[in-house]
């Protein structure tokens, strides 16, 4: 199997261990998002893969060849950062073709390839523009085209969308996925944003405090978070534990003996539902009504109701559980049920 392999990689800054014993495989052609809160070590991990930080112990290899001692510019990897870092005095075409010209690629070939790349990132017709005349999203597209120009065997993306506003971020995340798939590039992206990870990647690795806590295909990680902290980090709104989880699990007919993570939309207002509660808030969104419900013994929970439903604070409501919007979480310490 080709691709990137990390074996027990540890990276230190003097006494601080920023990455501890991380083992991870990224098959050629796959897109992996390393997801974790700020300071968990994900940029350090990416920099170590790039050869910008020395590895204190462990090994990094690509296509079976050890990268220890291989300098950054001989790894065949490309890097793209948050702010793109375009050359301000060069137009878009010259930015994208920069590395090709350095390699003394014939002019006609550079121009053909630049045209192809601008097409790929949705910027055909932008060749003569200067970076200062572009929007943030357009600049990141140029940076991406520039990174792909040399056909890297691996592209490393460090929070590539985080400098953009929310709407643009969502659109560019979907485009980024398409562009990476079309180019067939192997990619490792670090991000603290789970929506971004889900939109772009097909595999995910969750880091916390320097450790890799879980990795696998996105759907698997999503459906089976290893612990409550990971579930929250993946965007689950509530994790019920112990007796509370048991109560919900038995109401929903789910497998007992595990804790239960709930998305905001896991509970649905439904007169025939098994749980009874009292609405404490109601907020209409374009898709649905979001309702806060106090359930005896379980506290305040998020629920949703179809648009057009009439639910007001103080109303008695019944809830059903949409099992597809929940995930079992392995129970940590054994708990004593009351």
Give residues in contact with ligand ADP (CB under 6 A): 13, 16, 18, 36, 38-44
Nearer to ligand ADP by Cβ, of 43 and 230: the residue is 43
* In the complex, least distance from residue 8 CB atom to ligand ADP, rounded to whole angstroms: 18
Q: Distance between CA 331 and CA 261 in Å, rounded?
A: 11
Nearer to ligand ADP by Cβ, of 37 and 332: the residue is 37
* In the complex, least distance from residue 194 CB atom to ligand ADP, rounded to whole angstroms: 14
Whether the Cβ atoms of residue 160 and residue 80 lie closer than 8 Å to each other: yes
Nearer to ligand ADP by Cβ, of 194 and 247: the residue is 194
* In the complex, least distance from residue 26 CB atom to ligand ADP, rounded to whole angstroms: 18
* In the complex, least distance from residue 245 CB atom to ligand ADP, rounded to whole angstroms: 30
Q: Distance between CA 244 and CA 275 in Å, rounded?
A: 13
- Residue 215, beta-bridge partner list: 205
- 315, exposed or middle or buried, with CB in 10 Å at 0-12, 13-18, 19+? middle
Nearer to ligand ADP by Cβ, of 12 and 331: the residue is 12
Q: Distance between CA 93 and CA 125 in Å, rounded?
A: 10
Whether the Cβ atoms of residue 48 and residue 58 lie closer than 8 Å to each other: no
Nearer to ligand ADP by Cβ, of 18 and 289: the residue is 18
Nearest alpha carbon to residue 74 among 65, 83, 82: 65
The distance of Cα 160 from the centroid of its chain, to the nearest Å, equals 11
Burial 107-146 (b: 16+ CB within 10 A, else e): eeebeebbeebbebbebeebbebebeebebbbbbbbbbbb
Q: What is the DSSP letter of 67?
A: -
* In the complex, least distance from residue 17 CB atom to ligand ADP, rounded to whole angstroms: 9
Nearer to ligand ADP by Cβ, of 22 and 144: the residue is 22
* In the complex, least distance from residue 215 CB atom to ligand ADP, rounded to whole angstroms: 15
């Amino acid at each position: 199997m080709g691709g990137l392999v990390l074996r027990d990689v540890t990276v230190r800054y003097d006494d601080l261990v920023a990455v501890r014993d991380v083992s991870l495989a990224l098959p050629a052609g796959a897109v992996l998002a390393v997801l974790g809160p700020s300071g968990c070590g994900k940029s350090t991990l990416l920099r170590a893969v790039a050869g910008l930080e020395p590895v204190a112990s462990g090994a990094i290899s690509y296509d079976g060849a050890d990268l220890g001692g291989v300098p950054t510019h001989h790894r065949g990897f490309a890097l793209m950062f948050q702010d793109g870092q375009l050359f301000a005095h060069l137009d878009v075409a010259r930015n994208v073709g920069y590395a090709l010209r350095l390699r003394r690629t014939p002019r006609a070939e550079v121009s053909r390839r630049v045209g192809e790349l601008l097409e790929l990132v949705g910027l055909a017709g932008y060749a003569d523009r200067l970076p200062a005349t572009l929007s943030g999203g357009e600049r990141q597209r140029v940076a991406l085209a520039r990174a792909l120009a040399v056909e890297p065997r691996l592209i490393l993306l460090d929070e590539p969308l985080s400098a953009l506003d929310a709407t643009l971020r969502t659109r560019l995340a979907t485009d980024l996925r398409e562009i990476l798939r079309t180019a067939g590039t192997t990619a490792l992206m670090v991000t603290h944003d789970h929506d971004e990870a889900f939109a772009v990647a097909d595999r995910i690795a969750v880091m916390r405090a320097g450790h890799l806590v879980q990795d696998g295909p996105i759907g698997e990680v999503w459906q089976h978070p290893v612990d409550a902290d990971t579930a929250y980090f993946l965007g689950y709104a509530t994790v019920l534990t112990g007796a509370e989880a048991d109560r919900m699990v038995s109401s929903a007919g789910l497998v007992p003996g595990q804790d239960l993570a709930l998305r905001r939309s896991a509970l649905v207002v439904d007169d025939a539902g098994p749980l009874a509660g009292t609405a404490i808030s109601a907020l209409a969104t374009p898709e649905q009504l979001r309702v806060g419900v106090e359930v005896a013994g379980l506290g305040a929970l998020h629920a949703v109701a179809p648009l057009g439903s009439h639910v007001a604070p103080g109303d008695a409501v019944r809830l059903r559980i949409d099992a597809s919007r929940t995930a079992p979480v392995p129970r940590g310490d054994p708990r004593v049920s009351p």
